[in-house]
Structure 1
Amino acid sequence: MNLTVPYHLENYIGGNFIGPLSGAFLDNINPATAAVYGQVPNSNKKDIDAAVHAAQQAFAAWSTTANEDRFIVLNRIATLIEENADALALAETNDNGKPLWLSKRMDIKRAAENFRFFATAIMHFATESHAMEDKAINYTLRQPIGVVGCISPWNLPLYLFTWKIAPALAAGNCVVAKPSEVTPVTSFLLAKICKEAGVPDGVLNIVHGDGPGCGEAIVKHPGIKAISFTGSTRAGERIASIAAPMFKKLSLELGGKNPAIIFADCDWQKMMTETIRSSFTNQGQICLCSSRLLIEKTIYEKFKAEFVAQVQQLTVGDPLEEGTKQGAVVSKLHFDKVMNCIQAAKEEGGTILCGGNAVTLSGRCADGYFIEPTVIENLGPQCKTNMEEIFGPVVTLQPFETADEALQLANATGYGLAATIWSQDISKTNRVAAKLQSGIIWVNCWLVRDLRTPFGGMKNSGVGREGGWEALRFFTEQKNICIQF
């Protein structure tokens, strides 16, 4: 199929591609060049009303479609994503600034896996029954909620967009979805793929726009019964304040300030390779990235010297070039935020071991938003740099002497999304993992994902869990039926 990208993107409502009803558009900027290369609808309540109406009209038929038939459609979407991987990866890189090889290897691959996984999962989704001896039997029905809202972020655009849409559709819901207005193109292309795959009109509606105008209209709409959101803790607080009084189901996957705990008895080479990756993949713009590196004191100086030396070898460059390890951060607004955070770290007394500067490239990327991978030490656990999410290519180093001290440092923030532990002592890793206040913990690895497992965080990192049965449970309502003998 032909996945060309028009200069003016369109909403996808009721099976039709249409412009915003207000006629308002936002500029779409390539962060690697700082050039406007398209425009995005800036939709509002009227567009959301139209999308919800289309979804409501489609719900009766889609919610009663056999799981086998839903499987065929969703599996076809996965196949079409795979067949168009190159076009989708290029669109993702142009929108987001990440290296093209990373878009191909991680983002687009995972988007296809999301649809294939939930296409298959719905075929095996089962409910419970409970016999009351000779009195009665209870059985549970799980039925689709209705129209649901899915709002996804800019850091892994298609990856996280499909992570929400796929289980919602598999469970029989109709969806009104909003991608980030900063990275809209792959979601526009996904609408074309879904149309080609045979998704009935109105079952999936993709509406573009900013948070205050479009996102809030989704959250406030009385016809939308559940909200699945991934993004900042600040935005999550706003969504919860609106949706909770309306008694909507909520799944909020929010920010992180993730620790990596590195013990002296780790597998050194594997730890070093994976900690570089967990710190700076996607320019540190993954909610699961390690941003606080906690190192046992006996190996602290050795770790610092080798880690800094390897970070300095990470090539910052044009995302389209094969040798680039670090691309552009996503926008000028985010560039300024990260640079201000680095300046704040200096003012707090932090020592910049490497990086800390903007990068100016030549050629087509001369005006792009590039930042050196940055490593900082000499900051305590309660400073702003170690407490607040930066979401960029910035990590801090802190030494510890005992496992208890490592736990105190790891749990010191208001976040609790992910953590990594590096040690060959399996008893120690089990003890530490049990006491870490994080929803996802990797031991001697990072970002190894089994899609059957629950995904989400504690404390300010969110509410609820995604993935596997958790996602299908979220996107269904359960009903107990009791039959007396």
Structure 2
Amino acid sequence: MTDFRNFINGVWVATDKTFDNRDPVDNRLIGRIHEAGDAEVDAAVRAAKAALRGPWAKLKTQQRVELLHAVADGIIRRFDDFVDAEIADTGKPYDLASHLDIPRGAANFKIFADLVRNIPNETFDLETPDGGHALNYGVRVPRGVIGVICPWNLPLLLMTWKVGPALACGNTVVVKPSEDTPATATLLGEVMNEVGVPPGVYNVVHGRGPGSAGEKLTRHPLVDGITFTGETRTGEAIMQAAAVGVRPVSFELGGKNAGIVFADADFDKAVAGIARAAFDNTGQVCLGTERVYVQRPIFERFVAALGERARGFKLGRPKDPGVNLGPLISQRHRDKVLGYYARAREEGATVVAGGGVPDMPDDLAAGAWIQPTVWTGLPETSAVIQQEIFGPCCHIAPFDTEEEAVALANATPYGLAASVWTSNVGTAHRMGQALEVGICWINSWFLRDLRTAFGGAKQSGIGREGGVHSLEFYTELRNVCVKL
């Protein structure tokens, strides 16, 4: 059983208050998490502030770049440790963790380290009233101590997506991983020490949200900015805390993403793409698709094909051969998702596939397993269609015209992502501009160029991450005016 302690100023800190870490595959107790209290959170933030003003600030940009490359290499050097930690926390299949989570988690450090080698700055020549000139130029400086509140669905990937650019820009961080997934954030502390990142640059405090480490971190007056990925209502609470001191926030929040399939689309590719978008990572992806709109001429055929896909997944232990779907993150989350499954039945949905809990072997029966599910027949006002479920499920409805598809897709307070499947270039570009989302994929899903802007519209987020867009949050732009 693993002991997950807080990582503060380069050392491991235990506390008297602990809580359980359980494997979602079979609900076994696999660890004890040391919950950070007021003293530990304060120590972590102050360590980050001291490092910001001390050894980290004294490093030249190239030295920071080299250290962050060493961090990425350290993750790859301990690849098996990180994969094992990720699948123990989340229960996701080995292939998913080893091909996506860990490689991307390492890459995030190199990508943003290389970005800051040549940060673009603006320069202007000004004619002054006395007939002379003045030179104005911009300088990007670190924002300060960044509070990083992480989700549980892609723990290492989404944590390093924030920590990578934060450190590359010269900030220091205090990370609060999800209480469900403490392992890789803790393991990263070992790597930081191994490669020589100065103490206090990277800190980890464990705990929950309200009344625990999460709330304490967001309310600490020495935290200069807060970045968060998770539910919209949690983002609202963090924003209220950040308002004290007028501290900036960067949020990637909930979504109720639509997949739109036109009759002229490549049918097989559309079915495969929507199946990935709906069921990958057991539907626990912020960019996942829970609403599918299919043009009427191919609607019945598409429903049958996606239902067959949903019934074809192999559930089991992460390293068992052929397993391509894991459990939900916890029994608590399964209860929430099953609540929506029950509500769909109550509201009259036709259950095309799934709809409940699968029969699992005795050694897995206590795990957080759930069936991939496809529905049809619900009104657009249904909670199942309007609210984020975060499970392996989707509702399919028909549409007739392009204008109708746009109206259906936009009829939600969320605006994170969408995918459009069509062979018509004109349709593709019109849809890309009409859909109220942060990212719109055409004939693809989860195809990411990390240099591009990423973030949500409406209630799905604030700000953009990725490439130079990350600089907008992790640095402050200072203007220097020199009279010549």
- TM tier relative to shorter chain: over 0.9
Matches within 5 A, 1:156-235: 156-212=154-210, 213-235=212-234
The structural deviation recorded for 1:307 is 1.4
Secondary structure of residue in 2 paired with 1:246: coil
Q: Distance in 2 between matches of 1:86 and 1:378?
A: 45
Superposition misfits of 4+ residues, deviation over 4 angstroms: none
Matches within 5 A, 1:105-144: 105-133=99-127, 135-144=133-142
Instruction: Indicate conservation of the 8 Å contact 1:283/1:393, yes or no.
Output: yes
Q: Distance in 1 between matches of 2:351 and 2:230?
A: 28
Establish whether residue 389 from structure 1 lines up as the match of residue 388 from structure 2: yes
| RMSD of aligned residue pairs (Cα, Å) | 1.1
Instruction: Indicate conservation of the 8 Å contact 1:48/1:217, yes or no.
Output: yes
The aligned counterpart of 2:266 is 267
- Give CA-to-partner distance per residue, 1:225-278, whole Å, 9 cap, x none: 100000111100100111123210100110000000100111222212111111
- Give, as a single letter, the amino acid of the residue that structure 2 aligns with 1:154: W
The aligned counterpart of 2:62 is 68
**TM-score of the superposition, structure 1-length normalised?**
0.97
Matches within 5 A, 1:363-442: 363-442=362-441
- Give CA-to-partner distance per residue, 1:49-99, whole Å, 9 cap, x none: 000111121112312421100011100111111122222111111111111
**TM-score of the superposition, structure 2-length normalised?**
0.97
Q: Distance in 2 between matches of 1:473 and 1:301?
A: 46
Secondary structure of residue in 2 paired with 1:368: coil
Secondary structure of residue in 1 paired with 2:164: helix
Secondary structure of residue in 2 paired with 1:456: coil
Q: Distance in 1 between matches of 2:483 and 2:74?
A: 49
The aligned counterpart of 2:359 is 360
Q: Distance in 1 between matches of 2:59 and 2:363?
A: 50
The structural deviation recorded for 1:319 is 2.2
The aligned counterpart of 2:82 is 88
- Give CA-to-partner distance per residue, 1:126-171, whole Å, 9 cap, x none: 2111112453221111101121111110000011111111111111
Establish whether residue 17 from structure 1 lines up as the match of residue 12 from structure 2: yes
The aligned counterpart of 2:474 is 475
Instruction: Indicate conservation of the 8 Å contact 1:382/1:412, yes or no.
Output: no
The aligned counterpart of 2:23 is 30
Q: Which runs of 5+ in 1 are unaligned?
A: 1-5
Matches within 5 A, 1:303-322: 303-322=302-321
Q: Distance in 2 between matches of 1:64 and 1:301?
A: 64
Instruction: Indicate conservation of the 8 Å contact 1:151/1:228, yes or no.
Output: yes
The structural deviation recorded for 1:386 is 0.6
Q: Distance in 2 between matches of 1:52 and 1:240?
A: 19
Q: Which runs of 5+ in 2 are unaligned?
A: none
Q: Distance in 2 between matches of 1:402 and 1:11?
A: 55
Secondary structure of residue in 2 paired with 1:101: helix
- Give, as a single letter, the amino acid of the residue that structure 2 aligns with 1:70: R
Secondary structure of residue in 1 paired with 2:316: coil
The aligned counterpart of 1:59 is 52
Secondary structure of residue in 2 paired with 1:336: helix
The structural deviation recorded for 1:118 is 0.9
The aligned counterpart of 2:150 is 152
- Give, as a single letter, the amino acid of the residue that structure 2 aligns with 1:262: V
The structural deviation recorded for 1:484 is 2.4
The structural deviation recorded for 1:314 is 1.2
Q: Distance in 2 between matches of 1:64 and 1:173?
A: 12
Q: Distance in 2 between matches of 1:196 and 1:363?
A: 41
The aligned counterpart of 2:249 is 250
Q: Distance in 2 between matches of 1:128 and 1:197?
A: 35
The structural deviation recorded for 1:363 is 4.5
- Give, as a single letter, the amino acid of the residue that structure 1 aligns with 2:271: M
Instruction: Indicate conservation of the 8 Å contact 1:101/1:322, yes or no.
Output: no
- Give, as a single letter, the amino acid of the residue that structure 2 aligns with 1:95: D
The aligned counterpart of 1:99 is 93
Instruction: Indicate conservation of the 8 Å contact 1:209/1:215, yes or no.
Output: yes
- Give, as a single letter, the amino acid of the residue that structure 1 aligns with 2:99: R
The structural deviation recorded for 1:445 is 0.6
Q: Distance in 1 between matches of 2:124 and 2:347?
A: 59
- Give CA-to-partner distance per residue, 1:281-310, whole Å, 9 cap, x none: 000000001111110011101111111112
- Give, as a single letter, the amino acid of the residue that structure 2 aligns with 1:122: V
| 86-95 vs 335-344, which moves further | 86-95
The structural deviation recorded for 1:9 is 1.1
Q: How many pairs does the alignment contain?
A: 478
Q: Distance in 2 between matches of 1:441 and 1:32?
A: 33
- Give, as a single letter, the amino acid of the residue that structure 2 aligns with 1:144: P
- Give, as a single letter, the amino acid of the residue that structure 2 aligns with 1:174: T
The aligned counterpart of 1:3 is none
Q: Distance in 2 between matches of 1:269 and 1:356?
A: 24
Instruction: Indicate conservation of the 8 Å contact 1:28/1:39, yes or no.
Output: yes
% same residue = 41
Instruction: Indicate conservation of the 8 Å contact 1:43/1:210, yes or no.
Output: no
- Give, as a single letter, the amino acid of the residue that structure 1 aligns with 2:10: G
Instruction: Indicate conservation of the 8 Å contact 1:420/1:446, yes or no.
Output: yes
- Give, as a single letter, the amino acid of the residue that structure 2 aligns with 1:99: P
Establish whether residue 284 from structure 1 lines up as the match of residue 279 from structure 2: no
Q: Distance in 2 between matches of 1:349 and 1:63?
A: 60
